């Protein structure tokens, strides 16, 4: 006897709940910000939740969740880390590039994750999503500091190893659920 596996589709209500839920989760994660000496960029769990949003909700819904998060912050709601400028001004400070990259990172992680079933493939999807966050941060820090080398020292070197661990955790969490749902 064989069974036909049909793709599961989430209801609109469940998708909307996920979009809002991940925006709230990233906002909550931002409140635990650990300052790193020598850099204006704090350590947070936000990158892990950004890629997890894409991996669990799918690329479009994950990116939408991050846009909602950014709109809430731009409107002045206290969703960004307590370290730094308030509201829309945050986008022009040292962490602005990371933030602006969140929707693209969620999309990339979600798009890649739905094309794999292995933990290694999901880890790669999460890692590449975090790389997108790093590219955004590196771009902003380069503009502010006038030096790519200095930007790497401030915004990537202190975080890269731990972000590989965050990517693995996101891969493990996303592997416990089906990531091949429609978006």
Q: At what angle do helices 46-57 and 12-30 cross, to 10 degrees?
A: 170
Residue 176 is given by DSSP the state T
Note whether residue 111 is domain-resident: yes
What are 95-116's pLDDT values in tens digits? 999 999 999 999 999 999 999 9
For the chain, the helix, strand and coil percentages under 3-state DSSP, each to the nearest 5: 65, 0, 30
Maximum pairwise Cα distance, the chain: 66
In whole angstroms, what is the distance from residue 136 CA to residue 41 CA? 13
Note whether residue 182 is domain-resident: no
Task: Please report, for the domain that includes residue 122, its CATH number.
Answer: 1.10.1760.20
Question: By the 8 A CB rule, do 36 and 43 touch?
Answer: yes
What are 145-172's pLDDT values in tens digits? 999 999 999 999 999 999 999 999 999 9
Note whether residue 6 is domain-resident: no
User: Residue 102 belongs to what domain range?
Assistant: 12-175
Note whether residue 2 is domain-resident: no
Note whether residue 181 is domain-resident: no
| CB neighbours of residue 38 within 10 Å | 9
Note whether residue 32 is domain-resident: yes
In whole angstroms, what is the distance from residue 156 CA to residue 137 CA? 8
Chain mean pLDDT for the chain: 91
Strand partners, 43: 34
What is the number of domains present in the chain? 1
Note whether residue 183 is domain-resident: no
């Amino acid at each position: 006897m064989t069974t036909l596996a049909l793709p599961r589709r989430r209801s609109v209500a469940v998708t909307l709940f996920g979009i809002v839920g991940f925006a709230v989760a990233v906002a909550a994660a931002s409140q635990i910000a650990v300052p790193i000496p020598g850099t204006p960029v704090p350590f947070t769990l936000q990158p892990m939740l950004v890629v997890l949003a894409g991996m669990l909700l799918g690329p479009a819904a994950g990116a939408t969740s991050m846009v909602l998060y950014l709109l809430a912050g731009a409107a002045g709601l206290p969703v960004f880390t307590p370290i730094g400028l308030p509201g829309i001004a945050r986008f022009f400070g040292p962490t602005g590039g990371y933030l602006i990259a969140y929707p693209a990172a969620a999309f990339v992680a979600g798009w890649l994750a739905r094309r794999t079933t292995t933990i290694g493939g999901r880890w790669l999807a999460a890692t590449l999503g975090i790389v997108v966050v790093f590219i955004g941060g590196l771009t902003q820090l380069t503009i502010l500091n006038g030096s790519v080398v200095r930007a790497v020292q401030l915004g990537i070197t202190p975080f890269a190893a731990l972000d590989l661990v965050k990517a693995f955790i996101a891969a493990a969490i996303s592997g416990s659920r089906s990531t091949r749902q429609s978006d």
